[in-house]
Structure 1
Amino acid sequence: MIKLINTIEVSPLKYSKEEYELPEASDYPDADDWYRKWEEVISKLDLGFHTIKKDSYLVDIKTIDEENLQMILETNLQEIDLEKFEDEVPIFDGGIVLTQNDKILIEPSCCGDIGNIDEWQRILDNKTSDWSDLWIGHPWIFYRKQNGKVQFSDYSDLNLKEFTDIKVIFEVDEFELKNELDKMKKHQIKFKHRITEILKKMKIDNAEKISELMTGVK
């Protein structure tokens, strides 16, 4: 059984109200020791929501309550010249996570954002059975459709033109994927409306337009 999760990236240090001293790499020559110390510091932060797994900053948008969502918006907008919001408001980093039997199989990578939900829709709209790329950030993932199934490759640093021997890592039922994606679209629209209402409460001008830019939903 598959499940999709609509996520945004939330770095705990960015939104914490307290100051935390991170370990210096020079104090921990061994990278594994440094990372364990870094995790120890991060684990002390409690923002009222949890990431999808221990070593991730991705948070299910449904689990972020109004208080924490407002905190995230206030922090993000501090860096924005609201008079130039159309050029400066960024879309949330993150995107769709695919799990099967509670195991994460696909998650957004570097430069992926919540607007990449359109890339998942492209899977369903694609009429060919050829390999195609799924843009969720870098590295790439490729997919193809075969007999009602959607087959996925592993992550790759090569683009589709460079890859000559793509192997199927797992497959999912296309109809099941469609049902899950329909749910994600509704979640994202609701997320956009929540952001609009919070921005209005914060008396931010152009709340509707800003929420569109942040979520990729028009």
Structure 2
Amino acid sequence: MFVSFEGGDGVGKSTQVVLLARHLTAQGHEVVVTREPGGTPLGLELRQAVLHGDDLDPRTEALLYATDRAHHVASVVRPALARGASVVTDRYLDSSVAYQGTGRDLGADEVERLNLWAVDGLLPDLTVLLDLDPVVGLARLTGDPDRLESAGDEFHRRTRQAFLDRAAADPGRWVVIDAAQAPDVVAAQVQQRLAALPRAGVGA
């Protein structure tokens, strides 16, 4: 199966990725844990450029994310799914639709088309939206903020709403979970939703 975690900065995606991977491993799955950007050596270079490098215009930013995603899917995600592993990723194409499409005002539909082309139509079996007031999420962060974390309150409000709108439009793929809850409570809710997935053809 293929599971992605989405949401704003500081909502606990990395924690939940690890908790779900442990849960799936305990069930006997081979689990590949990854992230975007940065799930490959090339992705690490692109991550540095797009999040911490020189200022980028919005279209360049969107194209770099799509480049990372195309390579990530071709070299990590699809091979893992093909051999029967489960893939759990911290962010996927919905982040680009929310952040670049809506947050950067490039157009959600246009950015979605670009990224669906980049991944040859591959979507997760389940996308977990960890929803939290962006002011609360950003206050949880430590260290120097990256380019997106520094984009301002209005930007983060737009991206949060974009995530919520996408989840509402496709409830079969998405589950929205209140990220203000304790991590173990969130993890239990993720596992409950995952257990309801049909297994036939998962990850195909």
Q: TM-score, normalization: structure 1? A: 0.28
Q: With CA pairs under 8 Å and 6+ residues apart, which has the higher RCO, 1 or 2?
A: 2
Larger Rg, first or second structure (1 or 2): 1
Query: Per residue, is there more helix in 1 or in 2?
Result: 2
TM-score (norm 2): 0.29
